[in-house]
Amino acid sequence: MRVDIKFSPAFAMGVCHLDPGEAVKGEAGAMVSMTPDVTMETSTQGGVLKGLKRSMLGGESFFMNTFTASQPGAHVTFAPSLPGDIVHWPMNGNTVYLQSGAYLASSTGIEVDSSWGGAKTFFSREGLFILKCSGVGDLLVSSYGAIDAVDLAAGQSYVVDTGHMVAWSEGVTYEVTKVAGWKATMLGGEGLVCRLTGPGRIYTQTRSQDQFLSWLIPKLPTRSN
């Protein structure tokens, strides 16, 4: 599979070029367009229990779609629900972790499952469960806003607001903590942060869904009594 990312960073779209017999799977509703020589099959990708686990715990859809090419020159395009960027993350048997909603599409050789994040994530935006992607192939990760990559050396740390986390590679450890004291946390508008320590790569996003909703909801009209 060959992947092109178009229209970055504000309204990115991933184009997956497929050889005959090659397939790509994507989040339900993420497909934008495809050539007519591509067939689509919908399934839970691992059975009902795994679909429920991924949906209820990982924040992704219960069903996933698999697109298979039958002729040369076939392609499928994907885009996230929110305006933002897409990063192409090639995988060679390694494991990466995504925040809820960041998975867009991948080769069929990549397994997508929910993973226990540990008690340290209890107060974080990501919640107790995160998405675990492992295998061989191409992974498309989406964001709200532009994506920024940060490569950490062994022992190097970096602090990110929990609402701006997108993904991180295996080997990166993290803990959720206060950015300062409780007064600054409650009144300073920064909330909780992730302290990540390398080695490995992390991806952050320039916008936060939670911050956008906090701005939007007070402005929505309410029903008068």
Taking the CA atoms of residue 142, residue 146, residue 99 and residue 123 in that order, the dihedral angle to the nearest 10 degrees is: -160
Which sequence spans correspond to the domains of the chain?
2-219
Q: Are 138 and 1 in contact (CB under 8 A)?
A: yes
Tokens standing for residue 169: 């590679």
pTM, full prediction: 0.82
pLDDT one-digit tens code per residue, 65-94: 999 999 999 999 999 999 999 999 999 999
- Give ∠ CA 96-97-101 in degrees, rounded to 5: 130
Closest CA to 167 of 128, 141, 192, 186: 141
DSSP state of 117: -
Give the three-state DSSP class for 218: helix
Instruction: Give the model's pLDDT for residue 104.
Output: 95
Q: Are 15 and 4 in contact (CB under 8 A)?
A: yes
Tokens standing for residue 204: 């952050």
18 residue type, one letter: L
Tokens standing for residue 80: 């996230």
pLDDT one-digit tens code per residue, 92-132: 999 999 988 899 999 999 998 876 554 444 444 444 568 88
Architecture of domain 2-219: 4-Layer Sandwich (3.60)
Q: Are 160 and 206 in contact (CB under 8 A)?
A: no
